[in-house]
Structure 1
């Protein structure tokens, strides 16, 4: 492969400016005649949706041909459950991205659509109901001839689906996706949608197998991580504070090989953190991620800053991956995990937030976005740009981290900052549940192990 090709993203959009899409040709066995045929692979992107792998097989011996499309999506670290309350015609028009592995449920009518042939789709809530009705009606003539009782029950359930679509009463659409790659449109974007809730969960063994992850592989990855951690700790004991480590990774945007830099640093009046930065030469994507070097604190922390001057934008900010961010004046909230861990300035954090919310949401761009959403996003980004440019003051930036690992620079340290309030609070049961602390036993565990 040429050096120019190696600097291009692995998955890239088809374009007239890219005459060489780099198809891969593999000699494959023909299942029709047993001779060797040719499989061609093309890795590409569907704009504002996802990465896909196009496969085309052709056998010159018997003429057999076959074309397939498979998802090239990265499996997320955790599965996701999205719940949406459907109570209006506008809700029926919500766009839904259902990945290959997603199960769709409507609990009120005890209805479930399992993953079908691992095919993902972009549709609407109404489209899901319409497809279900059409699918059930398709075989009814044959059913009525073979089993009239079953056909009557299905007719009754079809009517239930039709009544559900008529919104005789509100219902809940639940998308359970172990791969974590499904979406339901947020009609209030970029604000919080009260009808929309999402949560993440650890996959069990069966779900890992379903998405193509197996225990042996996980065990190997864990052993490798433990070995790397051991080596890192040994190096840290020597001179890690003054050293930047480099290790090979894949770009989280285009999956091309790149390099990540890692360093431990100490934040004054706070604690040690691990900073990791990645710069991809193939697509230009840059990330910086921060991990706490001191574990979970005894209490959560809530930091509120009132922005009164452009100099406030240059304050150092550490936002951990468990931290939520609020801007009350914009009626805006960024949930925990949305931006990952960041160590930057307040200006940099707001810029990253804008890029994440405006640039990475597949349902607020192009033809998939309504004019209302586009107008709302335009108004929101204008105000956000004014804040970033230091032209809008009096707004409040709130960081709420139940793990207690977030920080904002006090420019008056060690004196009290008149524009910033820091409150340490006791975590609730729900906070501990999200952090995985309720299932963690740290005292007398030897007794449980022996019993």
Structure 2
């Protein structure tokens, strides 16, 4: 028997072919033919199944049909002749759509209650006026009407009411009150909103005026979120690797070290920070539990810039003290009004505010051991006192001054509070480094091109 042909009954007494070669050629059509939802001759398919209420044998009928101006769906219906239990479900006969869909229907009259609705398993139903929501996957898909959706919700709430009245009477009363509101809603005493939000894009609300526009119905298509795609089983778990990398980047890393003061074991915390409108820096902080010593240091997270940077800020207001500041190890600081200059590597790298750096400078200068005690002279003490007073005036905003940061490596930063616009009180200059500056940075002997020629074997 051929798989592509049908078996025709022969006349009585006809001999059966002894071999496939003796069988007459088949003239019947194909055994299977494609089905279409628009086929008017199509009949429901019946399959045996068990009743979910009494567990007796019953029959489920399946029918492929098409909703006008929508798409094909499969309608399944079951009715038990023993206990009377019935159930109707729908499933989309097509694929999950490229976008999710949200139907917002304003129910204004009784005619709107008769609109056909396709609600899939993944759809969420909301009625904002009652603060009512049916979550996704809490109900099976259904081909029904707006009134049918409300009736289904009422049936679901009434199902366990006898048990609630016996256990929690107050809760049962509140649910009875809410059921009354849903039943009142069916009479449409005033307009209300029905929202069906389906990430799969396979739900549907009828437009009785199609193909004309329906003023009461708003259809919105949207891109699914990662969570919605995972809920539908569309997104693999591969993107979690990227999330883990980002989380690791945002973590504070720790490594063991020794305290620079007492040499006791301590831990240093390290974190990579992105400074807005600048670059990434590495902040390291050590806190010794043995002696209480604390230290912090900042390293540039990038390479040496092609040009050096000279930043000049005219301090005119106390709010300037709150500007974020990054001073690298290669940056020198000048305050012309105080005839003060701080050389490279002094105070190390710091990520602080302008006020914080000025206070560190004051502490560094005033607590110099060579200017204190018996080794100091009256003139030195007087100059230090005057310097400290003027620095306090600058910090308090009582004295205007210029603050200059000169970094040949180009890795220092002073916050521009007007960003992305130019700061009228701050000037940033880019300049070409001198030979001596490149020598201090170790760039003169650094060879980044054509170095392969010098790697050959020595003879």
> Which TM-score bucket, shorter chain as reference?
0.3 to 0.5
TM-score, reference length from structure 1: 0.46
- Answer with 1 or 2: which has the greater Rg: 2
TM-score, reference length from structure 2: 0.45
The answer to which structure, 1 or 2, has the higher relative contact order (CA under 8 A, 6+ apart) is: 1
